[in-house]
């Protein structure tokens, strides 16, 4: 349940970039689908929303940077950067792929493209650095792999039909592996809108994601992993003859939480064998999740991230190491008071990694003995390369790292250098400023835990005045609100005259694995105490009106926005997005029930009491806070019936409430009109109820 309505934690904002599936038409019918529901949009949006959006378009522009990839020798960088804003109108153009010197990237180099009107993404250098592979998506919306050779010629390599993600060169340069869903009708994963149910549920229309490989010369595609397993991540062995991959039985949106690690010989999917099953593993990994598998350069070991994770892609935990046959499993970072997220081998004895800690990002190098540690770059800024959460591009030969980074007072730039000499190597956004509002890191202690969050001040803040505050709880719960520049939600609330507090309570990343696991079997209790203590901490430092507090969140934040108002009357208004009101009924309604056992300790059928104690519906008579409830009608992670149940109970009890259901939307909304309507209704609800 990772999506947050306001925050962009751990790369979570990327979860919105999912294309909706097409609605099928009956042969011979007109273009109007009589089964597609109509929606009446909010009639009178606050004019200040349009004013704020206009100021964003016409103000100081920020050029976005979508990906960075170092060449193997560390001398060049392939990167995706936004085009210049259109003169006069202030509208941002598209994203373009460039190749630049690694330590002086400039978007002035000629763009590399699959053709006119095509978008480019996911650049990947061949092992010899002579060829750049990238994904091009043109008018047919079908992604394909393209190659740009040393002469600058671009050619199309694949001709597939379906989804294509995570392209990765084999170490010998003979092929390019990728994740592939043949003839896909929707994006793999639970964030996309679920298909309308038809036929035998769980059997008909199930789409499976495989590890596939395209011959780098002919483009011929072969399936590497067994077609019976849904693959989530993979890595090539150094011999290019084997692949390690994380997979589970389909349907893939439901079984990532019990996924195992497999190895397979390329060319023989039947040779796949499980080398690690966290469900049955002993020690600290037992019952947890695994991600980011990486072979050591000599192929003898595999390192990965293991921890309590509530969503694939929202990675965090400890760094584990084992032999490439699954033997000798060990936790290299046990007890660490931070959250490792992404890893890359520096050499056979050292692992470079990124981590979150109390609002900062760290880059460090860890010895495989678990003791040797080289601390590198650290800052209250993000780390990203376009590969995964907090990912970076690393050249072992040059001992050089590159990534993009932004922070509350720094717009995004490319950073590069050796682990202890990393610096910004672009200045394309040096002119950008977020001076109208300010975001600061706040920290506090509660129940023996150290907690961190972000507080955005109202525009032109005057300590002599009292201001209302919105508390926004992130999704997950295993995620975090990280440092970002000019977040749309934070900026809008600041423009409207609100403080915005985005806490990282227990259950979040950033304070170590024990902190992440501290809300197991305790949803809505310890984490709510952390949040309320954070409100107190903010009020001690700033001029906040405690009589005008609002609460909101999406997914797990939506649950908190439902449950919290049954436990405290401190909030004057609440807006719950894609929330959960009844964990007992939710267990039987959602498409991802496998995620719940690691957090609740048992199924709802074996221990209904642990689910009941965190269900808002069981305390509904205590609610006095007006609540707006928002949800997509095809949300598989937090199904609409959960929102109906909360709304129905509040309405039956005479409480002020409203439910808005958005047609053809999943857990992450894709329709811009729906996103605009959601913003308008949320602002109006707070304005009306927090006067």
Q: What mean pLDDT comes out for the span 237-245?
A: 98
Residue 46 lies in a domain: no
The number of angstroms, rounded, from the C-alpha of 483 to the middle of its chain's C-alpha atoms is 14
Residue 671 lies in a domain: yes
Give the pLDDT band of residue 36 (cuts 50, 70, 90): low
Cα separations (Å) of 476 from 9, 93, 324, 557?
10, 32, 31, 8
If one compares 58 and 352, the residue with the highest pLDDT of the two is 352
Q: Which residues pair with 572 in a beta bridge?
A: none
Condensed to tens digits (0 to 9), the pLDDT of residues 367-382 reads 999 999 988 899 999 9
In the predicted model, is pLDDT for residue 87 greater than 60? no
Burial label for 673, CB within 10 Å (0-12, 13-18, 19+), is exposed
What is the number of domains present in the chain? 1
pTM of the full predicted structure? 0.92
Condensed to tens digits (0 to 9), the pLDDT of residues 387-401 reads 999 999 999 999 999
- φ, ψ for residue 217, nearest 5 deg: -100, -45
Say if CB 669 and CB 632 are below 8 A apart: yes
The helix (run of H) or strand (run of E) holding residue 649 is helix 640-652
Residue 278 lies in a domain: no
| Per-residue pLDDT at 195 | 75
Instruction: Indicate the average pLDDT of the chain.
Output: 90
Kindly report the number of other CB atoms within 10 A of residue 33's CB atom. Answer: 12
Condensed to tens digits (0 to 9), the pLDDT of residues 574-617 reads 999 999 999 999 999 998 999 999 999 999 999 999 999 999 99
DSSP string, 151-180: TS-EEE-----EEEEEEEE-TTSSEEEEEE
Range of the domain at 652: 438-690
Least confident of 249-253, 462-466, 613-617: 249-253
Q: What mean pLDDT comes out for the span 153-173?
A: 97
Give the pLDDT band of residue 569 (cuts 50, 70, 90): very high
Q: At 608, which CATH number? A: 3.40.50.1820
Residue 363 lies in a domain: no
Residue 41 lies in a domain: no
Cα separations (Å) of 498 from 456, 549, 576, 629?
8, 10, 18, 21
Closest CA to 457 of 416, 420, 417, 491: 491
| Per-residue pLDDT at 534 | 98
Residue 79 lies in a domain: no
| Per-residue pLDDT at 233 | 98
Residue 339 lies in a domain: no
Condensed to tens digits (0 to 9), the pLDDT of residues 612-648 reads 999 999 999 999 999 999 999 999 999 999 999 999 9
């Amino acid at each position: 349940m990772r999506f947050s309505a306001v925050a962009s934690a751990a790369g979570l904002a990327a979860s919105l970039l999912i294309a909706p599936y097409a609605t099928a038409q009956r042969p011979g019918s007109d273009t109007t689908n009589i089964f597609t529901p109509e929606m009446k949009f909010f009639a009178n949006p606050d004019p200040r929303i349009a004013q704020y959006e206009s100021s964003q378009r016409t103000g100081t522009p920020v050029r976005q940077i979508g990906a960075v990839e170092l060449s193997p020798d560390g001398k060049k960088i392939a990167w995706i950067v936004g085009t210049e804003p259109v003169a006069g109108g202030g509208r941002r153009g598209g994203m373009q792929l460039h190749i630049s010197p690694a330590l002086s990237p400039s978007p002035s180099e000629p763009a590399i493209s699959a053709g006119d009107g095509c978008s480019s993404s996911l650049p990947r250098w061949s092992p010899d650095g002579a060829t750049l592979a990238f994904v091009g998506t043109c008018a047919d919306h079908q992604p394909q792999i393209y190659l740009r050779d040393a002469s600058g010629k671009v050619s199309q390599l694949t001709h597939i039909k379906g989804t294509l993600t995570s392209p990765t060169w084999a170490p010998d340069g003979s092929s390019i592996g990728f994740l592939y869903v043949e003839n896909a009708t929707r994006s793999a994963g639970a964030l996309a809108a679920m298909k309308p149910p038809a036929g035998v549920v769980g059997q008909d229309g199930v789409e499976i994601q495989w590890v596939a490989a395209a011959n780098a010369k002919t483009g011929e595609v072969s399936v590497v992993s067994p077609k019976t397993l849904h693959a989530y991540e993979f890595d090539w062995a150094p011999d290019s003859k084997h692949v390690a991959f994380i997979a589970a039985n389909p349907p893939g949106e439901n079984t990532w939480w019990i996924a195992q690690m497999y190895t397979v010989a390329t060319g023989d999917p039947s040779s796949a064998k499980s080398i690690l099953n966290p469900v049955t593993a002993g020690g600290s990994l037992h019952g947890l999740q695994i991600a980011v598998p990486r072979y050591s350069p000599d192929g003898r070991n595999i390192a990965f991230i293991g921890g309590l994770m509530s969503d694939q892609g929202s990675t965090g935990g400890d760094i584990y190491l084992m032999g490439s046959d699954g033997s000798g499993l060990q936790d290299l970072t046990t007890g660490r008071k931070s959250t490792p997220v992404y890893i890359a081998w520096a050499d056979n004895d050292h692992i470079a990694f990124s981590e979150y800690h109390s609002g900062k990002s760290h880059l460090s190098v860890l010895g495989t003995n678990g003791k040797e540690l080289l601390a590198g770059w650290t800052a209250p800024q993000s780390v990203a390369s376009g590969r995964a959460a907090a990912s970076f591009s690393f050249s072992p030969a040059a001992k050089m790292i590159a990534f993009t980074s932004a922070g509350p007072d720094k717009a995004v730039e490319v950073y590069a250098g050796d682990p202890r000499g990393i610096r910004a190597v672009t200045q394309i956004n040096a002119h950008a400023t977020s001076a109208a509002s300010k975001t600061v890191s706040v920290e506090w202690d509660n129940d023996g835990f150290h907690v961190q969050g972000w507080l955005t001040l109202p525009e032109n803040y005057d300590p002599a005045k009292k201001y209302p505050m919105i508390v926004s709880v992130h999704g997950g719960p295993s995620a975090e609100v990280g440092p970002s520049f000019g977040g749309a939600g934070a900026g809008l609330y600041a423009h409207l005259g609100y403080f915005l507090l985005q806490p990282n309570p227990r259950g979040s990343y950033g304070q170590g694995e024990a902190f992440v696991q501290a809300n197991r079997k305790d949803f809505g209790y310890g984490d709510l105490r952390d949040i309320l203590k954070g409100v107190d901490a903010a009020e001690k430092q700033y001029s906040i009106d405690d009589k005008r507090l609002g609460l909101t969140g999406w997914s797990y934040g939506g649950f908190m926005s439902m449950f919290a108002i049954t436990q405290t009357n401190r909030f004057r208004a609440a807006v719950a997005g894609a929330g959960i009101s009844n964990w007992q009924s939710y267990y039987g309604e959602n498409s991802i029930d496998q995620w719940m056992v690691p957090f609740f300790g048992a199924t709802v059928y074996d221990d209904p009491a642990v689910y009941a104690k965190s269900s808002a519906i069981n305390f509904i008579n205590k609610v006095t806070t007006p609540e707006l409830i928002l949800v997509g009608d095809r949300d598989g992670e937090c199904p609409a019936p959960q929102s109906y149940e909360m709304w129905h109970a509040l309405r039956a009890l005479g409480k002020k409430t409203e439910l808005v259901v958005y047609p053809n939307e999943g857990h992450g909304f894709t329709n811009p009109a729906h996103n605009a309507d959601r913003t308008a209704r949320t602002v109006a609800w707070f304005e009306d109820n927090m006067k």
